Chains A and B, each alone.
Chain A
Amino acid sequence: MAWKALDRLTPVAEGEAPLLSEALREKIRSFFPRYETKRAALLPALHIVQNTLGHVSYQAMEEIAEVLDIHPSDVLDTLSFYTHFWTHPKGEKVITVCRSLSCEVMGGKEVLDEIKKQLGIGLHETTPDGKYSLVTEECLAGCDHSACLLINEKLHKCVKPEDVAKLLADENNDKIDSERSDLFDPPPESAVTKTDASDGTSDANEAQEGN
């Protein structure tokens, strides 16, 4: 989505220490042979950095630019086009509710309202305990099972308002059934500082890496 104003008012407290560990940089560089230019590794880089740090801060953008040999504004330019990337901390789990036609016809709005009510947050907000952030997206290509939503990687199908409480209470609601590829996962020995909204986040991320 092209028309999102960036928050220039909130100061970002980030230290001198690099956010991207050497292992993380190396993982980004491992994508170079796939493309004709280093810049083409930018989307993979953003995915890996976001999957490791939780979001892509300005400092992280500068460091990605360094690795890819491009200008930081190029990173910002690309990043700001796509809805998937966060420039500020988000919850440990992101709930993405489909808002397109099949899901709307099959009660998606009511599901969204129920989630808002139970979490006590609105769109683009994060619960105070840092557990959940809530967004909507257009069609998730799961319309044979409308209404759909994603919790991180996991697509939940045929969700009804009365299912929401149980769904939110399930610790494993973001775990997928199929075997995972670690291509875009945090590098194994990354000793990077986590900067997510909550303290619980780091543990949860590690739990996910292990599976």
Chain B
Amino acid sequence: MAKFEPILLKNRGVVNSTALKVYESRGGYQALRKALKMTPETITEEVKKANLRGRGGAGFPAGVKWGFLPKDRTRTLLCVNGDESEPPTFCNRVLMENDPHQLIEGTIISAFATQAQVAYIYLRVEFHEVFHIVQKAIDEAYAAGILGKNILGSDYSLDCYIHRGAGAYVCGEETGLIESIEGKRGQPRIKPPFPAIEGLFRLPTVVNNVETLSCVPHIIERGGDWFSSIGPEHSTGPKLFSISGPVKNPGCYEAAMDITMRDLLEREDMGGGMLPGKKLKGVLPGGISMGVLTADELDMKMDFADPAKYGLLGLGTAAAVVFDESTDIRAVLRNVARFYASESCGQCTQCREGTAWMNKMATRIESGAGRNEDLDILLETARNMGMMPGLSICGLPDGATFPIETIVKKYRGELEAAIAAQSAEAAEQILQTMN
């Protein structure tokens, strides 16, 4: 397969790539100049034509989302979702670390297209270095007349602020993020109303992911048709994929969405295969929330359509984590179960109790006191929470059930063997120490 000419990552590795001067010398802010001469409607049309689907996990088309804003609105807000808290996802970090001005340019163009007055970049607090880098880029942009009043001499004005989170996965959910900016607990809101109608400070609000917005300057520069010509019809444009775990070259790679999980893992210009002596056991290809693939399922295409055929929730964040034969599948099960139990915000009974119970069972299984019926109870619990059966306010429990359900189904043999190998006495003792 031909090497993909990087678009989103074209400035990675360039000396001083975060500096405004360097960004401009490589063609930066030309798209903004062009956009300011277009109308908001034509920009939105171009983004629709590109079929830019949200990179934050749900894959909703950005132009369509912008189109939901009420026509008669007087104030609009844009939130840039840089919470990046889905394990093990780090592409947004790579984008912001290497090219903060690309994000700022995409933010301004998108804010202009939606006629927003203020853009908030929500950054998880753990992004310390990223915060300093992006804040410096914002300061530079203000000083150069690229942000603030009358951007580049136009009639359009925009303020852009970083809002730092404080450690909560659910603040990545768009309405949790909105609550968090409002100074509240990051508990998601019941929808509808959707943010486009009533969002931050009850004003029409658009929430888009960092990678989604970083695509926008390129769409304006080279056109929606160019963008939609990259990759399969339903999954267009350049996409960042990341891979971590015991592989030769863990990292963030850019490609069209016509690659397979096997390409991402094995290609020399990507993951490069497993570390010497490590044999692949499985991979969670879309962030942990999408579910697991076994070593036999690596031909899954990394696009918005194929993952469902493998029992997965979706493409998610396209961040793969692999684990090898030396990893106990019970540890993987426990690790993901613990994550959702500790990150559930607690508003919805099924999510709060379900994630906690699944964590308890997974902990018991990992400790060597599992029972075969626990596996069935895990599956049953997984079927009875989440937005899919309409039992929750946000999608967190759907993300919780897919990895647990797919791990139990796809690795049932190994789990049962581990349970069969437990000594009844030892298991009893372990149970005594747990509740």
Query: Does B84 touch A at the CB level, under 8 Å?
Result: yes
Q: Are A34 and B159 in contact (CB under 8 A)?
A: yes
Q: Are B180 and A43 in contact (CB under 8 A)?
A: yes
Q: Are A153 and B167 in contact (CB under 8 A)?
A: no
- Which residues of A are found within 8 Å of B330, using beta-carbon distances? none
- Measured CB to CB, the nearest residue on chain A to B327 is A105
- Complex: A101 Cα to B329 Cα, angstroms: 12
* Contacting residue for A81 out of B86, B168, B250, B344, CB 8 A: B168
- Complex: A152 Cα to B165 Cα, angstroms: 15
Interface bits A35-68 vs B (CB < 8 Å: 1, else 0): 1110111111011000000000000000000001
- Measured CB to CB, the nearest residue on chain A to B288 is A101
- Complex: A32 Cα to B10 Cα, angstroms: 37
- Complex: A181 Cα to B252 Cα, angstroms: 27
- Complex: A67 Cα to B139 Cα, angstroms: 27
- Complex: A43 Cα to B251 Cα, angstroms: 32
Chain B interface, DSSP helix/strand/loop, else mixed? mixed
- Complex: A168 Cα to B201 Cα, angstroms: 44
- Which residues of B are found within 8 Å of A83, using beta-carbon distances? 166-168
Query: Does A96 touch B at the CB level, under 8 Å?
Result: yes
Knowing A40-B181, A78-B183, A100-B339 touch, does A181 contact B163 (C-beta < 8 A)? Answer: no
- Complex: A138 Cα to B340 Cα, angstroms: 10
Query: Does B323 touch A at the CB level, under 8 Å?
Result: yes
Chain A interface, DSSP helix/strand/loop, else mixed? loop
- Which residues of B are found within 8 Å of A37, using beta-carbon distances? 182-183, 201
- Which residues of A are found within 8 Å of B385, using beta-carbon distances? none
Q: Chain B interface residue count: which class?
A: 35 or more
Query: Does B32 touch A at the CB level, under 8 Å?
Result: no
- Complex: A178 Cα to B129 Cα, angstroms: 7
- Which residues of B are found within 8 Å of A47, using beta-carbon distances? 125, 164, 166
CB-CB contacts below 8 Å: B341-365 with A: 342-346
Knowing A40-B181, A78-B183 touch, does A101 contact B164 (C-beta < 8 A)? Answer: no
Knowing A139-B88, A142-B93 touch, does A181 contact B131 (C-beta < 8 A)? Answer: yes
- Which residues of B are found within 8 Å of A74, using beta-carbon distances? 183
Q: Are A2 and B90 in contact (CB under 8 A)?
A: no
B179 to chain A, nearest CB (A): 9
Query: Does A198 touch B at the CB level, under 8 Å?
Result: no
CB-CB contacts below 8 Å: A76-122 with B: 77-78, 80-85, 96, 99-102, 104-106
A residues with a Cβ closer than 8 A to B are 1-3, 34-37, 39-44, 46-47, 68, 74, 77-78, 80-85, 96, 99-102, 104-106, 137-146, 150, 152-155, 176-181, 183-184
6 additional A-B residue pairs with CB within 8 Å, beyond A37-B182, A43-B164, A143-B242: A39-B184, A84-B167, A101-B284, A139-B89, A145-B250, A181-B131
Q: Nearest 6 A-B pairs (CB), nearest first?
A: A42-B183, A139-B87, A82-B166, A143-B88, A83-B167, A153-B128
6 contacts between A and B (CB under 8 A): A96-B126, A100-B88, A101-B88, A142-B93, A146-B88, A179-B136
